[in-house]
Structure 1
Amino acid sequence: MDLGIAGRTALVTGADSGIGWHTAQMLLDESVTVVVSDKEADALAESAATLRAPEGALHQVAADLDTLEAVEQLEQDVRAAVGSIDILVHGAGVTGAQGMFHEIDDRGWVDTLTTDLLAPVRVTRAFIGALREGGWGRIVYLTSEDATQPYDDELPYCAAKAGVLSFAKGLSRSYASEGLLVNCVSPAFIRTPMTDAMMTKRADELGVTFDEAVESFLAEERPFMELGRRGEPEEAAAVVTFLCSERASFVNGSEYRVDSGSVATI
């Protein structure tokens, strides 16, 4: 299917692995010029080298999105590299502070909310001018099942992702008349470095293998994931890429769950 976005320009944050990497590849396959960004320059360069891209179609800008100054510098670097962007995919995020509520201090909350809520707000503010310039634009935020089905051992992350959903819904009303559409994709338990780390920790704590940790996690913590497996990053990236496209021209203010049924409500 031709997604109708050949010649567009996109910025993908959190792009050195997982859903972000696969989204960048799918956009490149649609003849989109892509800027990939992530926190660590070396890891980003190594990851970008594995993307299949025509000459001149792929650019990389490392940025730590935890500070306003870094976000502003990201905007300047992206503009210098490709000019204005038409598409923003914000996938950068962290699991953040974990534990029961009484175990998480103020710093844990501030650090998690800074990365998972304030960073997407700042990045959007930095690029909103460019996204409004051409009368056509797309913003897609990677949120999580946790936004609508919070878990008691990672409340800062859940609250941040719920905040992104609310922010996106409100933002979707602001510029739709100008052709800028805003949506979210909420994955659950995708095979990414983040969930790899979670399962490695679980395996160590339980004294079991990695695969046994995944199996027990699915049975005990995610019983509504009816497919009984972790999702693949390209399964989420395909939905993100669709929402970036001309084929999603009547989709605005929506949340697409890519979760195998994990969220147990309608």
Structure 2
Amino acid sequence: MEIDLSGKTAIVSGSTAGIGFAVAEGLADSGARVVVTGRTQSRVDAALSALREHRPEAAATGVAADLATTEGVRALTEAEPRADILVNNLGMFGFKPFEEYSDEEWQQYFEVNVMSGVRLTRAYLGGMTEAGWGRVVFVSSESALHIPEDMIPYAMTKTAQLSIARGLAERVRGTGVTVNSVLPGPTLSESLREFFERQAGETGESVEEVGREFVREKRPDSLIGRPLDVAEVASMIVYACSPQASGTSGAPLRVEGGLIRSIA
């Protein structure tokens, strides 16, 4: 299958590293003009440099803005007033007991993981429906359905994304625009890799060994028995953004190693 996104502009929130950067790479490989976003200009510049190093022909630009804020979204939309593809990837996570999360932390999770996607989709969805073609993808998580007891605020936001995506898919029915969610399992993104590296430094194990132990302990139902690579998740997201995915909308697309024990 050859995915051709030539002539399409794709915005990926939180795309200077991890899953977001892998998605930007995949979309660029498919011919899209990609807009890389991050909170600082230095991070955006570094991501663009890395993208162009391996893909000199890539059509890519960048915008530095905090997309967890109204002001940041406004700055992005002023720089890039239209998009054919929007991947709502920006997110944060952490591990600690429920009792230790403050009101401010709950609010921060909601602003970063939920409201960033709400504001961005509100800004770009109208243009997609007017054009008669568009793709919106919310990067949710298996934690939306498989709630970890030490990640409850994170899981709450990921469940909210599923509801928002489904509702938006209903709203744009028949317009040529699709809205979907992608549910990754534990993935070796920058943040999780750093977490594993700290543990590896304490135990003398490799990052891969620590990752497998984490999956065995925290996600024992995983059928692959390891964390996912960012490229594995990005492949699903790029497909959801493709013309070939025109028959898929309102769907939670799972790429979580089979740890959700459900046949539907």
Unaligned runs of 5+ in 1: none
Provide the TM-score with structure 1 as the length reference.
0.91
- Give every structure 1 segment of 4 or more consecutive aligned residues whose post-TM-superposition deviation is greater than 4 Å: 53-56, 201-204
Q: CA deviation at 1:28?
A: 1.3
What is residue 39 of structure 1 aligned with on the other side?
Answer: 39
User: SS at 1:230's partner residue?
Assistant: coil
- Checking the alignment, whether the CA contact within 8 Å between 1:12 and 1:37 is kept in structure 2 is yes
Pairing of 1:52-131 with structure 2 (within 5 A): 52=52, 53=55, 57-79=59-81, 84-96=82-94, 98-131=95-128
Aligned equivalent of 2:181, options 181, 184, 193? 184
Say whether 1:209 aligns with 2:211. no
> Are residues 210 and 54 of structure 1, via their aligned partners in 2, closer, same or farther at CA, if it must alter by over 3 Å?
closer
> 1:36, 1:195 → 2: CA distance?
21
> 2:77, 2:159 → 1: CA distance?
25
CA RMSD after TM alignment: 1.8
Q: CA deviation at 1:104?
A: 1.3
AA matched with 2:67: L
1:6-25 Cα deviation digits (max 9, x unpaired) = 21111111111122112111
> Comparing 11-20 with 123-132, which one deviates more in the overlay?
123-132
User: SS at 1:177's partner residue?
Assistant: coil
Unaligned runs of 5+ in 2: none
> 1:227, 1:166 → 2: CA distance?
28
> 2:213, 2:3 → 1: CA distance?
39
- Checking the alignment, whether the CA contact within 8 Å between 1:5 and 1:245 is kept in structure 2 is yes
- Checking the alignment, whether the CA contact within 8 Å between 1:171 and 1:182 is kept in structure 2 is yes
Aligned equivalent of 1:194, options 171, 191, 194? 191
> 1:117, 1:77 → 2: CA distance?
22
Q: CA deviation at 1:125?
A: 1.1
> Are residues 216 and 136 of structure 1, via their aligned partners in 2, closer, same or farther at CA, if it must alter by over 3 Å?
same
> Comparing 209-218 with 144-153, which one deviates more in the overlay?
209-218
AA matched with 1:209: E
Pairing of 1:152-191 with structure 2 (within 5 A): 152-191=149-188
> 2:213, 2:34 → 1: CA distance?
38
> Are residues 183 and 25 of structure 1, via their aligned partners in 2, closer, same or farther at CA, if it must alter by over 3 Å?
same
Q: CA deviation at 1:67?
A: 1.2
Q: CA deviation at 1:5?
A: 2.4
> Comparing 161-170 with 222-231, which one deviates more in the overlay?
222-231
User: SS at 2:135's partner residue?
Assistant: strand
Q: CA deviation at 1:197?
A: 2.9
1:195-254 Cα deviation digits (max 9, x unpaired) = 1133245456x7453534323212211112222222111111111111101100100000
- Checking the alignment, whether the CA contact within 8 Å between 1:4 and 1:247 is kept in structure 2 is no
Identity %: 33
Aligned equivalent of 2:227, options 220, 227, 230? 230
